[in-house]
Amino acid sequence: MLLSCVHLIRRPLQCIQPLLVLPSRSFMDLKALVSSLNDFASLSLAESWDNVGLLVEPSPPHTVSTLFLTNDLTEEVMQEALQKKADLILSYHPPIFRALKRITWKTWKERLVIRALEHRVGIYSPHTAYDAIPHGVNNWLAKGLGVCTTVPLHPSMAPSYPTEGTHRVEFSVDHTEHLETILSSMRGIPEISSLITLPSRAEGKEQTRVSLNCTQKALLEVVALLSRNSLLYHKTEIMLLQKPLLPHTGMGRLCTLSEPVSLSALTERIKSHLRLPYVRLALGTGKTLEAKVKVAAVCAGSGSSVLQGVEADLYLTGEMSHHEVLDAVAKGISVILCEHSNTERGFLSELRDMLATHLENKITIIVSERDRDPLQVV
């Protein structure tokens, strides 16, 4: 009986022992996480007027175990983030946009900053950088149209030039002695790069073709040097270098459907994709609900400036002004408006999965349950 009792005691202990071993909580340093977020979507793609990146930073060191995603950071959403022990809030719309001259308890945006710092929660906003990337908000919105090919309405340019400098200067020199004098002077000008010489022939004469890249500042000195020789100066070519376009990257999307679809059917697809019971529809002049849509121009949020002048059968966006809708309708373009954030918020679930992979599941990523569009039909 004694041996039997020993067995009865040992078996429960074997069951309890694994429960006492708790896994270590995974986390990332805030600076490393922000760097990874910037790699996911370069902030250089954001519009110049935008306010993106890390907007609120707790005093370092700061580690992040839980990343909280929201479209709009309201006070209600901030309370939810604190309850869920978030260490960093990724708010698609920047809660700090216009400059804050003071941080008091007077306005709701100031209170957001205060509560974030009091609870050591960072705030990061990508906004229009996520609009531009190939795997971003506008591509997600375009999926609501069905099978289609998409191109950016306003392509993004690379943040830097393919070579050093902003301008290329080319000219030809007849005499070797003259050439050495010019090249020696050129090499003394700062911010000149890619200075090369190539043999050439023009008008039956052997010449040397000189090519160089330079900055705007250096260009003034180059032109001043060449202008000392009027013949050389008049044969000089100056070209403005262009930053290359980034493939599949930019604001808005022009979507060509694989097959034309009636406006009525397309409206239902969009409502299903956005999980909305309604949208607002303006029929283009001469169009009906059974009119076929082959090309749609899409812009998440407020699309007026992005969609302006685009030829399409349909504009799909969150909001446009009354007169902008009238302009589109007069051109025979139908318009579907879904309210601003309704064209953005659904992307967050897709973003959560993409970030989990990008960050190698090192942290917990959750999507707000209280974030919602402020407008509703009653």
Structure tokens at 105: 């308890």
Q: Is the dihedral of CA 286, 288, 291, 297 positive or negative?
A: positive
* Residue positions forming the annotated binding site: 93, 131, 340, 344
* Cβ-based neighbours of 150, under 8 Å, separated by 6 or more: 139, 142, 248, 253, 254, 255, 256, 298
Region 28-130+347-367: CATH code: 3.40.1390.30
Domain residue spans in the chain?
A: 28-130+347-367, 133-156+247-337, 167-240
pTM, full prediction? 0.82
28-130+347-367 and 167-240 in the same fold: no
Question: Tens-of-pLDDT digits for all 378 residues of the chain?
Answer: 333 443 444 444 444 444 443 444 589 999 999 999 999 999 999 999 999 999 999 999 999 999 999 999 999 999 999 999 999 999 999 999 999 999 999 999 999 999 999 999 999 999 999 999 999 999 999 999 999 999 999 999 998 877 788 999 999 887 766 788 888 899 999 999 889 999 888 777 888 899 999 999 999 999 999 998 887 888 899 999 988 899 999 999 999 999 999 999 999 999 999 999 999 999 999 999 999 999 999 999 999 999 999 999 999 999 999 999 999 999 999 999 999 999 999 999 999 999 999 999 999 999 999 999 999 888
Q: How far apart are CA 165 and CA 186, in angstroms?
A: 15
Numbers of helices and strands, H then E, in the chain: 13, 17
CATH code that applies to domain 133-156+247-337: 3.40.1390.30
Binding-site members for a divalent metal cation are: 93, 131, 340, 344
Spatial contact of 260 and 290, defined as CB atoms under 8 Å apart: no
Longest Cα–Cα distance in the chain = 117
CATH of region 167-240: 3.30.70.1150
